[in-house]
Structure 1
Amino acid sequence: METSVSYPGWTKILILAALATVLGSSTPVGYNIGVINTPGYIIKQFCNESVHSRYNIVLDESQLDILWSSVVSIFLIGGSIGSLSGSILADKTGRKGGLTISSILGLIAGVLFWVSKTANSIEMLLIGRVFGGLSAGLITAIMPMYMMELAPPHLKGATGALCPLGVTLGILFGQILSMYNILGNEGGWPHCLAISAIFQFIYVVISFILPESPKYLFVIKEKPALALKELKRIRNVNEELLTGEIELLKFEEQENIRQGEHWSISRVVRSPELFLPLLLVCTLQAGQQLSGVNAVFYYSSVIFKSAGLSVKSSELATIGAGCCNMFMAIMSVQTMIWFKRRTILQISLVTSIIFLVILGISISYMDKYQFMPYLCIVSVLGYVLCYGLGLGPIPYFIGSELFEVGARSSAMAIGSMANWSGNFVVGLTFPTMAAYIGAPSFYIFASIVIAILIFIRTYLPETKGKEACEIYSLVANGLKSKPLMPSRNIKEINTITNEKDTI
């Protein structure tokens, strides 16, 4: 089915929802990821002093490293748990309600960060990281689904890219504000960690005037009158101009009724028809992290120093790499409108592989050739740009295009958990890989991206301009599916369904 360009575009309420969720939901996710690294040694010292003064325990270096690793990684564990909880909240309290609850959890985290130093409490710091992780997991599971269900068909890709845009913006904010001369110092770090709560407070205030997802109201809650009211408010047009969307909502409602019992995570996992789309979502979500993007940023400071930059200049250059990532995140909103998903994702994967291999080679020979440090810089920036082209934004929202409304929240929750789990695995293993393997670590990341590319080329159907019910028949046979065959349009599917019901 080709998407009609006659649909309303960016109405005022849709723009407000986009701004509120980007700044108030996904930006805090990225901020909590990016803010912890630069002032880490200062916060680590606070942890050491807190344990000593309160428990009279002197930690050796290895024990302190384990404690600090716990502070960092517990956020990722919270993210995984929050992701799984996202499916329950998204169906029980609504898409908007789930995001509001996530913001309240983020507010609690911010308060705990703010008072942790004054209270001399490492426990508050740890609990704050848990609450921050829970909030982040809920947001990454719910926000892409919420925005794509609000958007007209031709803007689904653009609204789906808003979540990674906010995450990227938050990481950049975190890198800048956590610089030592700003807030990443002995006196400023509690305030630095707590700033994300301000954004989430703003979202809570604005959420009262934001719309609920019409698809959620119509299909899940079975409230067609309220769904139609919200749809008219979002599109800002008369009901007569919404005939196509209303027909589609009715069709999705029929499909949800036909599929029987309420969808849950366990049912989604057990369903043979959903095996392939779920595998695609988890592969892309986990693969996004296993591609080594965080490792590249980890190495960037070392690379810039090796190129002859001072400590301060290399810090600024790392932020410059973050700006490149931010630029691509902004561009991806429009890119998702211009290009097909399969095309832009494969370009992103192929070019990322090339730059990862070049990066591994240039780091290996950095001390042997004078031009190698500069090749490293080009590789870092090239990888960041290529990653942001497709591998960065698409995994966040592809689940909303592959799954119908009933199973969507559970599938998005599982995919989000795969993303956080991949992040956790890289965070846990990369320091050891860097110490014992070094530059060849990037060949491992390149190999993972090659595997993702092969899988995607074989099994990912084109989702741009199509509804999930059109894609369903292409991926319902598991690994025996032929997803690159032309899909049936809504009318054909509706006819077939009616014939089956008649028989």
Structure 2
Amino acid sequence: MGAIEQQTHIQDAGWTPLLLVICVTVTIGTTVPVGYFFGVLNAPAAVIKRWCHEILDSEYDTESDADDLNLLWSFIVSVYLIGGICGSCFGAWFSNKFGRKGCLLISCMLLLISALLFAFCRVTKSLELLMLGRFAGGIASALIFTAQPMYLLELAPNSLSGSVGVFTCIGVTGGILLAQLLTLPELLGNEQLWPHALAAYALLVLLCLLPLWRFPESPRWLYLIKGDTAGSEAALQRLRGKQACVQQELQQLQYTQSNMNKAHTLSQALRETQLRLPLLLVCILQASQQLSGINAIFFYSLSILTEAGFSASFATWLNLGLGSFNLCASLLSPLLLHRFARRPLIFISCALCAFSLLCMSFALYFMLSTQSLALRYVCIVFILLFILGFQLGLGPIAFFIGSELLEDAGRPVAMSAGSLFSWLGNFLIGMCFPLLQSVWSSFAFLPCMCVCIFCLLFSWRYLPETLGREPKDVAPLMSKGLRSKVN
């Protein structure tokens, strides 16, 4: 009888058509545009730089040399990351004030405003519109990174937390690939159409905006934060469809509410010993995800490939192939995270990333010194191995681990703080990697390797296993801070 009840429980807690539609729609309308922002400036950089040079001369009466133009371009690239850092600072407040879905709707509005600024920057000959568009997109992306993982995880039953959690990573990798494809010179990445390339993601936002408006809000937010019991029950009824399952989850929410503290601010969370280690884990995993080298590869992939001796046209298509492999590897994540524990996946991921970066650095060094044609392809093999290792654990798990480590009161703060560290890591890579590359050449990836090793050791010591566990069951394992023993 117990086995039959357990089987029924698992069946009730599985996928439903509405949940699958929500996951796909929200991913296409929010995280794919975020990935698009990451990859859209890579291929058309030279074209946009020439336009910036013309605008400086004609509209601002400024004679700019190569150094001035590179400084301006660095700011155009990094202002998106600055917007992300700013957005992360109030992501938790937005998620609690307007709800998870409400925060995503606000993000969509900001993305559309950003697209309009891009579309008109060339016509109006305005560098300011281009920069404002990047800044607004950064704020929207930070809100998405805070709210989207929480929204999907709070809609899904506990048995699917890993499966729905990876949609964030899939969306980002899909957006990078879409940007690489649309910014090919044969499509939108040319002198006439580059503003449309920057704004093309708006079609996805518009396509998903109306369905998103009709989707249910997070039942946990409605019940625990807003106090709307009837609204929470109605949302669960739409999501689960079976009254027994709905009543069971409502009972769990009632129990959680009776034992839940008020929503935390970051300063309040840091004063509570039992929350410090979970917050630290979320921040370190998010920062390590960005500092691992994945963004260095995709930010500067064209320059790396041309430095390896490939022609510019071949390097562009090869870069598109890397983006395709990145997306395919991310599609393995739902299956892996549904079946395998988080800790071993993180360990394997970090170890494989560190090994790949070490081997790639030496392969690049010997290739440049010997001009060996064979070593070009060895470098590509290690880049592919790194991408595969990243998507095994470090890529997807970092996005949603905060929702599995912390209960409802501390969850928005943790996700917002993790997002902040993610953007800071991204900004650091964007600013420092070119300098490291100019000084250390092929060995510029070694600091990224050290980050992967540190993340492996810290996770081995402090990261508890969360698969199949409620946050309330995981919390006691981290209650003593850095003196905790998770095994």
Pick the TM interval, shorter chain: over 0.9
Aligned partners of 2:304, 2:284: CA distance in 1, in Å? 30
Residues 1:483 and 2:486 are matched in the alignment? yes
Contact 1:304 1:314 in 2 (8 A): yes
| Deviation, structure 1 residue 202 | 2.3
Partner AA of 1:322 in structure 2: G
CA distance in 1, matches of 2:237, 2:58: 60
Task: Please point out which of 10, 13, 20 is paired with 2:15.
Answer: 10
Map of 2:412 onto structure 1: 409
Q: Which letter does structure 2 place at the counterpart of 1:414?
A: A
**Corresponding residue for 2:382?**
379
Q: How many angstroms apart in 1 are the aligned matches of 2:285 and 2:133?
A: 29
Q: How much has 1:351 moved relative to structure 2?
A: 1.0
Work out whether 1:66 is the aligned partner of 2:67. Answer: no
Instruction: Return the alpha-carbon distance in structure 2 between the equivalents of residues 311 and 53 of structure 1.
Output: 30
The gaps in structure 1 that reach 5 residues or longer are 485-503
- Shifted more, 356-365 versus 267-276: the winner is 267-276
Q: C-alpha deviations, 1:272-302, integer Å up to 9, x for none?
A: 2211001100000000011111222355435
Aligned counterpart, 2:143: 138
Are 2:249 and 1:249 aligned?
no
Contact 1:399 1:411 in 2 (8 A): yes
CA distance in 2, matches of 1:127, 1:308: 37
**CA distance in structure 1 between the aligned counterparts of 2:474 and 2:258, rounded to whole angstroms:** 16
**CA–CA distance in 2 between the matches of 1:341 and 1:221?**
32
Query: Secondary structure at the residue paired with 2:461?
Result: helix
For this pair of structures, how many residues does the alignment match?
479
Cross-structure match for 1:270: 271
The answer on whether the counterparts of 1:103 and 1:203 sit within 8 Å (CA) in structure 2 is no
Counterpart CA distance in 1 for 2:429 and 2:290 is 7
Cα distance between partner residues in 1 of 2:82 and 2:23: 27
Q: Which structure 2 residues correspond to residues 271-290 of structure 1 after superposition, within 5 A?
A: 271-290=272-291
Instruction: Tell me if structure 2 keeps the 8 A contact 1:307–1:374.
Output: no
Q: Aligned letter for 1:337?
A: H
Residue in 2 aligned with 1:227? 232
In the TM superposition, 1:192-231 aligns within 5 A as 192-231=197-236
Q: AA paired with 2:323?
A: G
Structure 2 letter corresponding to 1:97: G
Structure 1 CA distance for aligned equivalents of residues 141 and 230 of structure 2: 32
Select 2:99's aligned residue among 81, 94, 103. Answer: 94
Q: Determine whether 1:453 maps to 2:459.
A: no
Letter in 2 for 1:219: L
Tell me the SS of whatever aligns to 1:334: helix
* Displacement after TM superposition at 1:465 (Å): 1.0
Kept in 1: contact 2:181–2:320 (CA 8 A): yes
Separation in 2, partners of 1:168, 1:370:
29
Please say if residues 100 and 203 of structure 1, whose CA atoms lie closer than 8 Å, have aligned partners that are also in contact.
Answer: no
The answer as to whether partners of 1:35 and 1:193 remain within 8 angstroms in 2 is yes
Following superposition, the deviation at residue 241 of structure 1 comes to 2.9
Q: Which amino acid aligns with 2:467?
A: K
Q: Distance in 2 between matches of 1:419 and 1:208?
A: 28
Residue type matched to 1:189 in 2? W
Give the C-alpha shift of residue 37 in structure 1.
1.2
Aligned equivalents of 2:210, 2:316: Cα separation in 1: 36
For 1:297 and 1:55, how far apart are their aligned partners in 2? 33
SS at match of 1:57: coil
How far residue 305 of structure 1 moved from its aligned partner, in angstroms, is: 4.4
Q: Distance in 1 between matches of 2:473 and 2:41?
A: 43
Separation in 2 of the partners of 1:7 and 1:397?
Answer: 23
Distance change (3 Å), C-alpha of 1:74 and 1:299: closer
Tell me if structure 1 keeps the 8 A contact 2:308–2:364.
no
Instruction: In structure 2, give the amino acid aligned to 1:251.
Output: Y
Moved more, 54-63 or 295-304: 295-304
Counterpart of 2:226, as a letter, is K
Letter in 1 for 2:414: A
Match of 2:152, as an amino acid? Answer: M
State the distance in 2 between where 1:119 and 1:459 align.
53
Distance 1:110 1:50 in 2: 20
1:222 positional shift: 1.3
Amino acid across the alignment from 1:333: P
Q: Write the distance in 2 (CA, Å) between the matches of 1:68 and 1:267.
A: 39
Q: 1:23 to 1:46 in 2, by over 3 A?
A: same
What is the distance in 2 between the residues matched to 1:81 and 1:299?
25
| Aligned residue in 2 for 1:432 | 435
Per the TM alignment, residue 225 of structure 1 is displaced from its structure 2 partner at its CA by 1.7
Q: How far apart are the structure 1 equivalents of 2:21 and 2:373? A: 51
RMSD after superposition: 1.6
Equivalent residues of 1:217, 1:226 under 8 A apart:
yes
Query: What is residue 178 of structure 1 aligned with on the other side?
Result: 183
- TM-score, normalised on structure 2? 0.95
Q: 1:119 to 1:299 in 2, by over 3 A?
A: closer
What's the CA shift for 1:19?
Answer: 1.5
C-alpha separation in 2, matches of 1:307 and 1:49: 31
The runs of at least 4 consecutive aligned structure 1 residues that moved more than 4 Å come to: 302-309
Indicate conservation of the 8 Å contact 2:56/2:63, yes or no: yes
Larger mean Cα displacement after TM superposition, 435-444 or 70-79:
435-444
Write out per-residue CA displacement over residues 251-280 of structure 1, whole angstroms, 9 at most, x where no aligned residue.
221122xx2x43122212332221100110
Does the 8 Å CA contact 1:113/1:124 hold for their aligned counterparts? yes
How far is 1:115 from its partner? 0.6
Runs of 5+ in structure 2 lacking a partner? 1-5
Partner of 2:124: 119
AA aligned to 2:407 is E
**1:334 shift after superposition:** 1.7
- Aligned residue in 1 for 2:356: 355
- What is the TM-score with the length of structure 1 in the denominator? 0.92
Worse overlay, 262-271 or 384-393: 262-271
Question: Aligned pair 1:346/2:347, yes or no?
Answer: yes
Deviations 1:165-193 (A, max 9, x none): 10110000001111111101110100000
Contact residue 300 and residue 380 of structure 1 kept, 8 A: no
Closer, same or farther in 2 for the Cα pair 1:405/1:364, shift >3 Å? same
Change beyond 3 A, Cα 1:307–1:417: closer
SS of equivalent residue, structure 1 residue 56: coil
- How much does 1:65 deviate? 1.2
Rounded to whole Å, the distance in 1 between the matches of 2:75 and 2:304 is: 27
Query: Helix, strand or coil: the match of 1:120?
Result: coil
Report the equivalent of 2:3. none
For residue 36 of structure 1, report the CA deviation from its aligned partner: 0.9
- 1:282–1:414 contact (8 Å) kept in structure 2: yes
State the Cα distance separating 1:41 from its structure 2 match. Answer: 1.4
Choose which of 57, 66, 75 in structure 2 pairs with 1:52: 57
| Partner deviation per Cα, 1:307-347 (whole Å, 9 max, x = no partner) | 66432222111111111110111111221101111111111
Q: Does 1:334 align with 2:339?
A: no
